Structure 1
Amino acid sequence: MPPTPTALLSPADQERRRALQRMKAVALGALVLMAVVFAVAFVLQTRYPWLQWVRAAAEGGMVGALADWFAVTALFRRPLGLPIPHTAIIPRRKDEIGSSLGEFVETNFLSGQVVRERLESTPLAARLGAWLQQPAHAERVATEGATVATAVLNALSDDDVGDLIEDLAREHLIAPDWAPSLGGWLGKVVETGAHHGAVDLAADHISTWLADNPQTFDGLVSKRLPSWVPGMVVRLIDDTLYREAVSFVAAVRADDDHPARRAIDDYLARLSDSLQHDPETIGRLEDAKASVFDSPRVRGLAAEAWETAKTGLLTALADPTSGLRVRAAAALVEVGDRLTTDAALQRRVDGWAIGAAVFLVERYRHDIASIITDTVQRWDPAETTEKIELMVGRDLQYIRLNGTIVGALAGVTIFTLAHLVLGGAVA
């Protein structure tokens, strides 16, 4: 398996590769040292008998080093390229390893109980509140929220949103009959006398208008009189009409039980009853509503409403000094203050967060773990082997080094025991 070019590795993987190569060199150096010591000791042991123990140690060290080299190499590839059974374990069983790893994570980490215990020991709300209390953090959240909202608004289709608004308007605003609801509302207004203030306001405005516009009555009636009527009579008629109008309005303003007021009350009461029970009145109102909100007009209003709202929102979201952004950041700071001081709110927020996390983990634990399984299955066997070797290969080289040392100790120990037991029979 050719190694991945260094330029394609991350800085961390490049450092792992250098460390792995160093440890491989050390382990190989230990094996070469044992071989050299063995050769020297083997040649000179007849002249220097004590070198038999050195030879035995070096011999055991070589055996241990070669055995552990074979074991470590067999995990990642075939030793010397030979098709030896049960070698190249990782590339051959990559999919099984990924499945086992996903199952291990799902069983031991993606457990509702594990997540609950971990989160219950963490003051989530208090930490979030302390973080949001800082204006810079609140501004950052508001900025990120504005970015997300802007992206969503730009992604929405104007035609689709217009159709949605039109459908909602038709369903909730236009389709229902207005007359019964308006009649009921008007009946309650009349019953409680809530309309008296509007009558007073209208009377006040009419009185003010009459005081400011007396000339409006000039010729209002007199111009329709025969030409033979004396001019004095003409002026008297116009003046009298004006004074009567002023006097009438003043009387309405002064008398809460004026006949005009009672007439208005009676009319509104009859109108309320007709709107609720008279089919003709109901039909006339609904026909008027339908003529006002005909199809092209509704679609135009929906499109105009959406365009206005969208433009206003995008402008406010793009401006860091806009009222929307400023109020959003201030509101987040206030939320942070409450989260750090209100114990009851902290408990509620922690409960919501823990409940949501446990629900998501228990419902989607298998889907989350399958990400690991699917990702490993998509990896190329050679790539998988190299990734795993870079992660654990350096530590595995220590096994080779330790095998050399343990083999040497075992070799000299066995030789010593054999020498003690068998005596001169040991060469």
Structure 2
Amino acid sequence: MTNVTQEPLVAVPGPDPETESQRRADLRKHKAIATGLLVIAVLIYISMRWLEYQGNSGAWIGYVRAAAEAGMVGALADWFAVTALFRHPLHIPIPHTAIIKRKKDQVGHALSEFVGENFLNATLIADKLRKANIPQRAADWVVADGGAERVSKEAGRLIDIVVNGINKEEAEQVLSALVIDKLQEPTWAPPLGRGLEQLIEEGRTEPAIDAVVVWMDDKAQTSEEFVTRLIDERTPTWAPRFIRELVGAKVYRELIEFTADVRHNPHHEARIELRKFLRQLSQDLQHDPQMIERVEQFKEDIMTSTPIRAIPGALWESARSTLTTMARDEDSLLRRRITNWVREFGTRVQNEPELRDQLEHRVVNAASYLADNYAGEVTSIIGETVERWDAQEASDRIELLVGKDLQFIRVNGTIVGALAGLAIYTLTELVFAVA
């Protein structure tokens, strides 16, 4: 035997306590009025019958008795009909009573079908949307009524909620996967070599060579004391001091002459050798296993270092802080850009009929598509929700909502019944009097 797990019952939605209390008071009052009319009809009927048994032969007694009798019948019949909707009259389990309590699920599904057929109908929705002129009205609102500022404010609020709602650790993992892992995944050396080779072929490495040469020359011009001290430290201590100074000065002059010559001569051998070095480096990066392995080791050391691994967290925190500040500040560049864009687009919609027609067509098509494909899923929520309601509570809630109006049926039944009884009795008297 298969065990079917039943979903737990949920509370039936209702009004706030103050409104519910007022509705219950109104329901009790109208029930009292309807019941009071029934009691009046009963008392009148008993009084008329008593007068008849006392031998009072007044013609009017028959008319009043007939009206009261029919009024009682109408009141009782309508009381039974109204009560049978929500409960068993007098707690007697008469068939086809307590209808709402017993038929709650069927009513819910019938309501789902009714809503789907009559409210989420694609043709009806499309017609309503076309008549609503949504693009034109939206454009008028954003341009003339401060709507652009309101859209910017709501967009900023949405950005604020989304950005600060993202889990920090998850954001860091995503950034790490998109940035760090993607950079670490490929072999660096061959692409670097191909890039360097292309730069050499296009002559784009010459500015770098010039920068190196200029830096060397500028550095040499300010290194006289360093060169002299270095030579002095390398010269034997037994050599005369003037010899050490002479050698230091000579080496310094040769150095600055060399760097100056390299700087001003674009065809200097040092430049040529530097170009050869770069070209050889581009080839080694692509084809030399040892060079490729060294670059890979360098890459591994860099990408696994603590500063690099901390980059995703720093990037996310910086982006989050910046976006939050800009989203909350109405004078920020982000908010002003959103406002201007919305206003400009609204102006275009106002002035360009073709754009307006395109937007309306898209809105209508989107709504029709949703209605055609998802109306059943939307309306099924009604039936599924009603199924989960407690039957007794649902019946009580519905009675509280419409019971006051249903009491007028009892009142009308009493009055209409009395008038019908009076009319029938009068007609009967006329017919037999003529006969």
Q: 1:259 to 1:221 in 2, by over 3 A?
A: same
Q: In the aligned structure 2, how far is the partner of 1:277 from the partner of 1:359?
A: 58
Q: How far did residue 206 of structure 1 move?
A: 3.3
Q: 1:145 to 1:318 in 2, by over 3 A?
A: closer
- Give aligned-pair identity as a percent: 35
Q: In the aligned structure 2, how far is the partner of 1:251 from the partner of 1:348?
A: 70
1:379 counterpart SS class = coil
The Cα offsets for residues 183-208 of structure 1, whole Å up to 9 and x where unpaired, read as: 22222322222333333333343333
Q: Quick check: 1:376 aligned with 2:386?
A: yes
Match of 2:67 among 39, 43, 57: 57
Alignment of 1:2-151 (within 5 A): 10-43=17-50, 46-120=56-130, 121=132, 122-123=134-135, 126=139, 129=142, 133=147, 135=149, 138-139=152-153, 141-143=155-157, 145-151=159-165
* Aligned AA (2:296): E
Q: How far did residue 263 of structure 1 move?
A: 3.4
1:218 counterpart SS class = helix
Give the number of equivalent residue pairs: 412
Q: In the aligned structure 1, how far is the partner of 2:206 from the partner of 2:328?
A: 42
TM-score of the superposition, structure 1-length normalised? 0.79
Q: In the aligned structure 2, how far is the partner of 1:132 from the partner of 1:271?
A: 63
CA contact (8 A) 2:74 2:417 kept: yes
Q: Residue in 2 aligned with 1:208?
A: 218
* Aligned AA (1:109): F
2:187 counterpart SS class = coil
The farther-off stretch of 131-140 and 77-86 is 131-140
CA contact (8 A) 1:133 1:334 kept: no
CA contact (8 A) 2:329 2:335 kept: no
Alignment of 1:257-406 (within 5 A): 257-294=267-304, 297=305, 301-302=308-309, 304-312=310-318, 326-343=332-349, 362-406=372-416
The Cα offsets for residues 266-289 of structure 1, whole Å up to 9 and x where unpaired, read as: 332332233234444333322332
CA contact (8 A) 1:132 1:333 kept: no
The Cα offsets for residues 116-146 of structure 1, whole Å up to 9 and x where unpaired, read as: 5445532385378468756576445534542
CA contact (8 A) 1:128 1:339 kept: no
Q: In the aligned structure 1, how far is the partner of 2:214 from the partner of 2:328?
A: 41
Q: In the aligned structure 2, how far is the partner of 1:418 from the partner of 1:241?
A: 147
* Aligned AA (1:185): G
The farther-off stretch of 377-386 and 28-37 is 28-37
Q: In the aligned structure 2, how far is the partner of 1:293 from the partner of 1:9?
A: 60
Q: What are the ranges of 5 or more consecutive residues in structure 2 without an aligned counterpart?
A: 1-10
The farther-off stretch of 12-21 and 163-172 is 163-172
Q: In the aligned structure 2, how far is the partner of 1:214 from the partner of 1:323?
A: 57
Q: In the aligned structure 1, how far is the partner of 2:247 from the partner of 2:46?
A: 145
Q: In the aligned structure 1, how far is the partner of 2:95 from the partner of 2:15?
A: 33
Q: 1:90 to 1:282 in 2, by over 3 A?
A: same
Q: In the aligned structure 2, how far is the partner of 1:275 from the partner of 1:252?
A: 27
* Aligned AA (2:37): A
* Aligned AA (2:62): Q
Q: 1:119 to 1:274 in 2, by over 3 A?
A: farther
The Cα offsets for residues 86-145 of structure 1, whole Å up to 9 and x where unpaired, read as: 001001111222222223333433445555544553238537846875657644553454
TM-score of the superposition, structure 2-length normalised? 0.78
Q: How far did residue 76 of structure 1 move?
A: 0.5
Q: 1:398 to 1:127 in 2, by over 3 A?
A: farther
Q: In the aligned structure 1, how far is the partner of 2:181 from the partner of 2:321?
A: 30
Q: What are the ranges of 5 or more consecutive residues in structure 1 without an aligned counterpart?
A: none
1:87 counterpart SS class = coil
* Aligned AA (1:152): I
